[in-house]
Amino acid sequence: MTETRPPSDEAKDGGDDRPSDLQLTVKIFDEETLTEYSVISPASSTVGHVVAAFYREDLRRERDPEDRLWCTANGDSVFAHETEELASYARRTCRELSWTFVGPTGGA
């Protein structure tokens, strides 16, 4: 799991970042194009928010019912966890926040 925190006013003055500023980075490997994407999102957002951002900003298409997206470490479907908070999902299910994607026409 990669954590990224944007600089806050306190951090610029040498203080700690506020917990609400915590950002998590999800790495997503597209098996079809052999491209790795990074989606940075607030830890409090849902897994579904990250999935939607990936489709909107990286794939630039709607989700196909045949698409597969899974946690690379354990093979668990990401789609099954869309309502979970990202930070909780990272603690309980997919610690590294590394996902693999394949559309309906490709992949292993």
Break the chain into its structural domains and give their ranges. Answer: 22-102
Q: What percent of the chain has pLDDT over 70?
A: 78
Q: Which fold has domain 22-102?
A: Ubiquitin-like (UB roll) (3.10.20)
- Judge contact between 105 and 32, C-beta under 8 A: yes
How distant is the alpha carbon of residue 33 from its chain centre?
Answer: 18
* Average pLDDT over every residue of 52-80: 97
15-37 burial, b at 16+ Cβ within 10 Å, e below that, comes to eeeeeebbbbebbbebeeeeeeb
pLDDT on residue 9: 40
Q: What is the mean pLDDT of the chain?
A: 85
Question: Tens digits of per-residue pLDDT, 2-44?
Answer: 333 343 343 334 444 445 569 999 999 999 999 999 999 999 9
* Residue 49, phi then psi, degrees to nearest 5: -65, -45
- Prediction pTM value: 0.79
Q: How far apart are CA 7 and CA 59, in angstroms?
A: 29
